[in-house]
């Protein structure tokens, strides 16, 4: 079985509104096998506040609790569900949400270790993939989508985003094809100049 690539999809602490938006960040995705099985979500994680963590704990009795984490009883699809973490990192408790495959033994514990390692690094940094995921997570649904039949067959189903094209006005572009200048323009100022990082 292929191990899930764990992916940080938002930089900073998500507000409650942002948290609920990211719960459905693939809501417009084509009805592919990856979406129907939850694989689009599996392994994605981001930081939340304590109030959001506690709110989710109190909604329903959890599926299980294990020390510093608990899983939601309601599954997204298949074996994919939300897992929430309260982790001690550099002497303080921080809170995170992730999607985990409950059929993959030890996936939640592995993801906990990835989050702690990623967030314990002495220098704050972002990979190109993290920058693109942050842009995707924070762009309104009206300005992002998926390549359809008008795109070359190799690109169909890939994420697209509206960008300013200078004299051409706004244009639709594949998210993965954004230039460094376009990525910088779409990131908030406090994230534009973070150094590159190795993947989490």
**Which DSSP helix (H) or strand (E) runs through 105?**
none
**Axis crossing angle, helix 16-23 with helix 50-59, rounded to the nearest 10:** 60
Q: Are residues 150 and 105 in the same domain?
A: no
Total number of domains in the chain: 2
pTM of the entire structure?
Answer: 0.81
Same domain, 18 and 60: yes
**Distance of alpha carbon 130 from alpha carbon 128, whole angstroms:** 5
Residue 63 pLDDT more than 60?
Answer: yes
Regarding whether 110 and 22 lie in a shared domain, the answer is: yes
* HSE, side-chain direction, 13 A CA sphere, residue 141: 9
Domain around 188: 128-192
72 in the same domain as 149: no
Residue 53's φ and ψ, nearest 5 degrees, are -60, -50
pLDDT in tens, 77-118: 778 899 999 999 988 999 999 999 888 888 899 999 999 998
**What's the distance, Cα to Cα, between the start and end of the chain in Å?**
20
pLDDT for 74 equals 82
The last residue of a domain, from among 59, 90, 119: 119
Give me the pLDDT at residue 32, please.
Answer: 64
Spatial contact of 159 and 176, defined as CB atoms under 8 Å apart: yes
- The predicted-structure confidence for 24-57, as pLDDT tens digits, reads as follows 887 777 666 666 566 778 889 999 999 999 999 9
- Return the bridge partners of 4, or none: none
Instruction: Give backbone dihedrals phi and psi of 55, rounded to 5 degrees, phi first.
Output: -60, -45
Please give the pLDDT value at position 30.
Answer: 67
Same structural domain for residues 102 and 139?
no
Using pLDDT thresholds of 50, 70 and 90, give the confidence band for residue 200.
very low
Given this model, what pLDDT does residue 16 score? 92
Mean residue pLDDT of the chain comes to: 84
Weakest mean pLDDT among 9-23, 152-166, 184-198: 184-198
Answer yes or no: is 182 within a domain.
yes
Give the pLDDT confidence score for residue 34 in this predicted structure: 61
- How many CA atoms lie within 13 Å of 107's alpha carbon, on the beta-carbon side? 25
DSSP 8-state symbol, 129? H
**Inside any domain, residue 185:** yes
């Amino acid at each position: 079985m292929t191990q899930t690539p764990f992916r940080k999809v938002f930089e900073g602490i998500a507000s409650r509104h942002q948290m609920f938006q990211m719960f459905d960040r693939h809501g417009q995705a084509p009805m592919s096998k990856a979406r129907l099985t939850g694989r689009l979500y599996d392994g994605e994680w981001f930081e939340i506040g304590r109030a959001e963590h506690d709110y989710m704990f109190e909604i329903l009795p959890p599926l299980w609790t294990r020390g510093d984490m608990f899983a939601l009883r309601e599954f997204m699809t298949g074996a994919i569900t939300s897992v929430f973490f309260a982790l001690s990192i550099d002497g303080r408790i921080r809170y995170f949400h992730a999607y985990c495959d409950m059929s993959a033994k030890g996936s939640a514990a592995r993801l906990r270790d990835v989050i702690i390692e990623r967030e314990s690094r002495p220098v704050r940094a972002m990979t190109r993939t993290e920058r693109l995921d942050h842009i995707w997570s924070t762009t309104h649904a009206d300005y992002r989508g998926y390549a359809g039949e008008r795109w070359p067959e190799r690109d169909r189903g890939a994420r697209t985003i509206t960008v300013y094209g200078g004299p051409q006005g706004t244009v639709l572009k594949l998210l993965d094809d954004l230039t460094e200048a376009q990525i910088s323009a779409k990131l908030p100022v406090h994230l534009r100049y973070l150094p590159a990082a190795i993947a989490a």
